[in-house]
Chains A and B, each alone.
Chain A
Amino acid sequence: MRLTLREVMLGMRRSPLLSTLSVVTIAFSLFAFGLFGLLVLNVDRALRGVEEHVEIVAFLADGTLPESISAAMGDISAFPEVARVDQVSPEQALARARAELPEFQDVFDASFLPPSLEIRLKEGHRDPGTVKDVTQRIQTYPFVDDVRYGEDWVKKLYDIRNIAGAAGIALGLLFAAVAVIIIGTTIRMTVLARSREISIMRLVGATDGFVRLPFLIDGFLKGLVGGLLALLLTWGANWLISHNLIQTFFFDPGIAFLGVLGGGIIGLLGSALSVGRHLRRV
């Protein structure tokens, strides 16, 4: 083990530029994951707040019979996605409008407001797809005039979230691939520089695993360092945004730890993928 660590240190000293490059690309890879991950995390939080208010309002035609309304309410509350259905009379609607909107201060006649149903969805069913789906089903009642929901901006937030997530994954994977290639190059150089040592190790009966181990540990450690660097960068970026733009949330420690470990795994993968191939040529 001590021997192995010594070899790792030797490798770092032998090709400092490539070693640094490996660490930095791994850091970039995880930084990309981290930044876009933060975006997703924060949009998600915002959406969760928004979703609690997701409400479908169905305006009913004038003169709809109370029996039809209660039958529809029964139907709709039986939808698996629906949490509650409330009936809002014109008077209640007016009272709300008066409370919220100053233009309604002087309006006392509620008859111009249509009666409506307010439908709340269960948690987990508040995404744009489900909302739209439920809306369409409600629209099929002949006495439903119009259905409204916060369609546009909820959908926009979702889009942002999904695009950010995809961009983060794409960019992160790109950097990870570059990191794996650079680590492979580093290993090729190290194997060449140490070919004599390696052939002697083989000759005296060192196992493949033993010959390989320093390279794997080297890759893993570089990955961890890259991961820590990425964590630092992401944290810094988050701090800047929080202090200058809007309050944001950071990853909890478990996720941050997984991210750093992910760096180690990228490094390990880079080493594992190339070490066997290069060692075979010695």
Chain B
Amino acid sequence: MIRFSHVVKEYPRTGLALNDVTFRVNKGEFAFLTGPSGAGKSTILRLVIVEETPTAGEVRVSGSLTSGLPRAEIPRLRRRIGVVFQDFRLLEDRTAEENVAFALEVTGAPREGIPARVSRLLTQVGLASKGTSYPKELSGGEQQRVAIARALVNDPVLLVADEPTGNLDDRATRGVFQLLRDINAAGTAVLMATHNLDLVKRNTYRVIEVNRGQLVFDSAEGDGGAATVTSSTPT
């Protein structure tokens, strides 16, 4: 599903953000991406959604090599990936329904199927009764659910989440996280960057940890030495 081999990412002004990162996330897998601030988590996710391409090494997503991917192919790949952010990124002047419908409209879904699909998705994320509310009228947890519903419009094979619970309180965090687990249980691979170590510890999902642009721990490798690094990493 996702395959990084010896990925190096250098930003023009800030320099090396990732250095020789290699890992893969399989179909249907759930993986946490952790590490201190500035470690390179968001950079990894940006490479996955082809907002960036690696300076060296290879990133493969759903079989496609992202470097040198024709511009016209990028939208097609993105439709197979759902993306969720800490700040929700909803359109303030549109209702919950309209925000979800927007993703369908702009990807050229047939019009007549849109309302039914939107209400099904809002029901799935537990917001069936809030469809006509504007983002301002929703709690943070509810807004994130709208964003998740939007990320699911095209039945993605992969959901990428960059600190989706970063702005939420514990209760909302549990709710949103449960939703991500359900989505994963239905077969969608999930890669979730998070600072919330509680959440990571309380679950048995795989953990990939980066620090200063390098992969320092991957629970799938069962490397005890690296695990020590995890516990000593301040967050």
Chain A residues within CB distance 8 Å of chain B: 3, 196-197, 199-208, 210-211
**Could you tell me the distance between the alpha carbons of A160 and B9 in the complex, rounded to whole angstroms?**
66
Q: List chain B residues, Cβ under 8 A from A201.
A: 102, 106
**Could you tell me the distance between the alpha carbons of A205 and B83 in the complex, rounded to whole angstroms?**
11
Q: Which of B57-65, B72-80, B196-204 contacts A (4 or more CB under 8 A)?
A: B72-80
**Could you tell me the distance between the alpha carbons of A211 and B105 in the complex, rounded to whole angstroms?**
12
**Could you tell me the distance between the alpha carbons of A203 and B79 in the complex, rounded to whole angstroms?**
8
Pair B72/A205 contact, Cβ less than 8 Å: no
Pair B105/A197 contact, Cβ less than 8 Å: no
Given A3-B105, A210-B106, A210-B108, A204:B153 Cβ within 8 A? yes
Give 10 CB contacts A-B under 8 Å. A197-B91, A199-B89, A202-B75, A203-B83, A204-B107, A204-B153, A204-B154, A205-B76, A205-B79, A210-B107
Q: Give the secondary structure class of A's interface.
A: helix
Min Cβ gap B136→A in Å is 15
* B150 adjacent to chain A (CB < 8 Å): yes
Pair B89/A204 contact, Cβ less than 8 Å: no
Pair B150/A204 contact, Cβ less than 8 Å: yes
**Could you tell me the distance between the alpha carbons of A201 and B79 in the complex, rounded to whole angstroms?**
11
Q: List chain A residues, Cβ under 8 A from B2.
A: none
Q: Please provide the 5 A-B residue pairs with the shortest distance between their CB atoms, ordered closest to farther.
A: A205-B78, A205-B79, A206-B106, A204-B103, A205-B75
**Could you tell me the distance between the alpha carbons of A208 and B106 in the complex, rounded to whole angstroms?**
11
**Could you tell me the distance between the alpha carbons of A208 and B75 in the complex, rounded to whole angstroms?**
8
Pair A204/B78 contact, Cβ less than 8 Å: yes
**Could you tell me the distance between the alpha carbons of A206 and B106 in the complex, rounded to whole angstroms?**
5
**Given pairs A200-B102, A205-B77, 7 additional interface contacts (CB within 8 A):** A3-B105, A196-B91, A202-B75, A205-B107, A208-B71, A208-B72, A210-B108
**Could you tell me the distance between the alpha carbons of A207 and B107 in the complex, rounded to whole angstroms?**
7
Closest residue to A196 on the B side, CB-wise?
B91
**Could you tell me the distance between the alpha carbons of A205 and B72 in the complex, rounded to whole angstroms?**
10
Pair B89/A200 contact, Cβ less than 8 Å: yes
Min Cβ gap A191→B in Å is 16
Chain B residues 35 to 72 lying within 8 A of chain A, measured CB to CB, are 49, 71-72
Write the B151-178 contact mask toward A (1 if CB under 8 angstroms, else 0): 1011000000000000000000000000
**Could you tell me the distance between the alpha carbons of A210 and B151 in the complex, rounded to whole angstroms?**
19
Closest residue to A203 on the B side, CB-wise?
B83
Min Cβ gap A83→B in Å is 61
Q: List chain A residues, Cβ under 8 A from B49.
A: 203
**Could you tell me the distance between the alpha carbons of A88 and B91 in the complex, rounded to whole angstroms?**
89
Interface residue tally on B, bucketed by range? 20 to 34
Q: List chain A residues, Cβ under 8 A from B153.
A: 204
Q: List chain A residues, Cβ under 8 A from B105.
A: 3
- Residue in B49, B103, B151 whose Cβ sees the most chain A Cβ within 10 Å: B103
**Could you tell me the distance between the alpha carbons of A203 and B78 in the complex, rounded to whole angstroms?**
7
Q: List chain B residues, Cβ under 8 A from A207.
A: 72, 75, 108
**Could you tell me the distance between the alpha carbons of A197 and B102 in the complex, rounded to whole angstroms?**
10
Given A3-B105, A205-B107, A200:B91 Cβ within 8 A? yes
**Could you tell me the distance between the alpha carbons of A3 and B111 in the complex, rounded to whole angstroms?**
11
Q: List chain A residues, Cβ under 8 A from B72.
A: 207-208
**Could you tell me the distance between the alpha carbons of A197 and B92 in the complex, rounded to whole angstroms?**
10
- Residue in A201, A202, A207 whose Cβ sees the most chain B Cβ within 10 Å: A207
**Could you tell me the distance between the alpha carbons of A210 and B71 in the complex, rounded to whole angstroms?**
13
Min Cβ gap A109→B in Å is 91
Given A3-B105, A210-B106, A210-B108, A204:B79 Cβ within 8 A? yes
Min Cβ gap B88→A in Å is 11
**Could you tell me the distance between the alpha carbons of A206 and B103 in the complex, rounded to whole angstroms?**
8
Q: List chain B residues, Cβ under 8 A from A197.
A: 91
- Residue in B83, B105, B108, B153 whose Cβ sees the most chain A Cβ within 10 Å: B105
**Could you tell me the distance between the alpha carbons of A210 and B74 in the complex, rounded to whole angstroms?**
13
Min Cβ gap B152→A in Å is 11
**Could you tell me the distance between the alpha carbons of A119 and B85 in the complex, rounded to whole angstroms?**
87
Min Cβ gap A29→B in Å is 33
Closest residue to A197 on the B side, CB-wise?
B91
**Could you tell me the distance between the alpha carbons of A201 and B74 in the complex, rounded to whole angstroms?**
12
**Could you tell me the distance between the alpha carbons of A61 and B150 in the complex, rounded to whole angstroms?**
98
Write the B97-112 contact mask toward A (1 if CB under 8 angstroms, else 0): 0000011011110000
Given A196-B89, A196-B91, A197-B91, A204:B106 Cβ within 8 A? yes
